[in-house]
């Protein structure tokens, strides 16, 4: 057997890294009894890495920041209980009521929307509830779909490749900055106040949460019940992602894209309030963090850091 064949068959460092990372992550989940059924899909990354060539290496390297964020975000469930004593409950409620109570006759808009749906059982309320749920869930797919589209076209088009790199960097900065904010200053969402008033979370309260009493929609109830953390209301990534997409649209200077993104952003912001998931101040915090992340990712200093890291 020639040395060239042996070289091709030898496991490359990036392939070994992918395999070890997947095994370590699953081992951590097993050791902490926090594995979910969807974690089993990670196993597919091992043959995917071992059987792929240069294009596979490029895919794993390009998408690594997004994969790492998803996995770190998922592990936040291990630290949530350590933050209970520091969760802000009353302060954000009072700020929201003072700033936007005029929209809901002195109540916070999220609670007013929740009360309205609770008191209506007609077609309009049902349609509103399901539409809001579908919009709310879409944040799991819209931004990744945009990233994937830019990546695919970027394989042959330099302009799309540049847009992919720029957007993914801003997306990564935004996501990890949000995690840092959560760890430093956890904030309760409005549905927690609906259920528990101004009480800070405790292990007992968390264990006996009745999701159906705090929010409408079986899809949302199931999603939040299995979420990795409940007290990262500020900043709202649901509010942040449409703003980041809008900044990308401004960069591309496409009027139809700007109109579509703006409409989507309005729907998303409205859905999070209607479903009692976020205060308006949470959404504004997400928008501000998006702008800061976009500017940071495009700064010369950030580019130098990236080059040093590589």
Q: Which two tokens stand for residue 69?
A: 């964020």
Tell me how far apart the terminal alpha carbons of the chain are, to the nearest angstrom: 35
DSSP codes joined into one string, 219-243: HHHHHHHT-S-S-B-SS-HHHHHHH
- The answer to whether 114 touches 217, Cβ cutoff 8 Å, is no
Q: Which has more confidence, 10 or 290? A: 290
Distance from chain centroid for Cα 179: 10
| Distance of alpha carbon 136 from alpha carbon 227, whole angstroms | 14
Q: What is the token pair recorded at 96?
A: 């929201």
Q: Encode pLDDT of 216-245 as tens digits.
A: 999 999 999 888 899 999 999 999 999 999
Question: How far, in Å, are 135, 236, 269, 286 from residue 290 at the CA level?
Answer: 20, 10, 14, 6
Model's pTM, two decimal places?
0.89
For the purposes of burial, counting CB atoms within 10 Å of the CB of 192, is it exposed (0-12), middle (13-18) or buried (19 or more)?
A: buried
Phi, psi of 148 (to 5 degrees): -65, -40
Higher pLDDT, 40 or 105: 105
Instruction: Tell me the torsion sign for CA atoms 82, 284, 277, 119.
Output: positive
**Contact assessment for residue 157 and residue 169, using Cβ atoms and an 8 Å cutoff:** no
C-alpha to C-alpha distance for 138 and 238, rounded to whole angstroms: 9
* Mean pLDDT, the chain, whole residue set: 90
Q: Which H or E run includes 98?
A: helix 90-100
Task: Give pLDDT tens digits for 25-79.
Answer: 899 888 988 888 888 888 888 888 888 878 888 888 899 899 899 889 988 989 9
């Amino acid at each position: 057997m020639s040395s060239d064949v042996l070289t091709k068959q030898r496991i490359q460092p990036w392939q070994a890294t992918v395999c070890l990372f997947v095994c370590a992550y699953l081992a951590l989940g097993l050791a902490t009894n926090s594995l979910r059924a969807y974690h089993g899909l990670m196993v597919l990354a091992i043959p995917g890495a071992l059987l792929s060539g240069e294009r596979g290496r490029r895919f794993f390297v390009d998408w690594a920041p997004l994969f790492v964020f998803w996995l770190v975000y998922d592990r936040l469930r291990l630290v949530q209980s350590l933050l209970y004593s520091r969760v802000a409950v009353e302060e954000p409620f009072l700020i929201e009521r003072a700033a936007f109570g005029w929209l809901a006759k002195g109540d916070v808009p999220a609670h007013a929307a929740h009360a309205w749906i609770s008191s209506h059982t007609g077609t309009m309320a049902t349609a509103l509830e399901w539409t809001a749920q579908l919009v709310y869930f879409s944040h799991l797919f819209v931004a990744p779909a945009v990233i994937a589209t830019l990546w695919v076209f970027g394989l042959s088009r330099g302009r799309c490749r540049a847009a992919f790199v720029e957007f993914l960097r801003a997306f990564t900065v935004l996501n990890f900055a949000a995690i840092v904010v959560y760890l430093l200053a956890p904030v309760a969402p409005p549905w927690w106040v609906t259920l528990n008033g101004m009480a800070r979370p405790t292990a007992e309260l968390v264990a006996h949460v009745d999701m159906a009493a705090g929010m409408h929609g079986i899809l949302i109830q199931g999603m939040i019940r299995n979420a990795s953390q409940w007290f990262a209301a500020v900043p709202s990534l649901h509010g942040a992602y449409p703003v980041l997409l809008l900044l990308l649209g401004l960069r591309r200077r496409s009027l139809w894209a700007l109109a579509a993104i703006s409409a989507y952003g309005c729907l998303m912001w409205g859905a999070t309030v209607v479903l009692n998931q976020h205060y308006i101040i949470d959404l504004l915090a997400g928008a501000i963090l998006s702008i800061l992340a976009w500017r940071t990712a495009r700064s010369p200093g950030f580019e130098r850091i990236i080059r040093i890291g590589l």
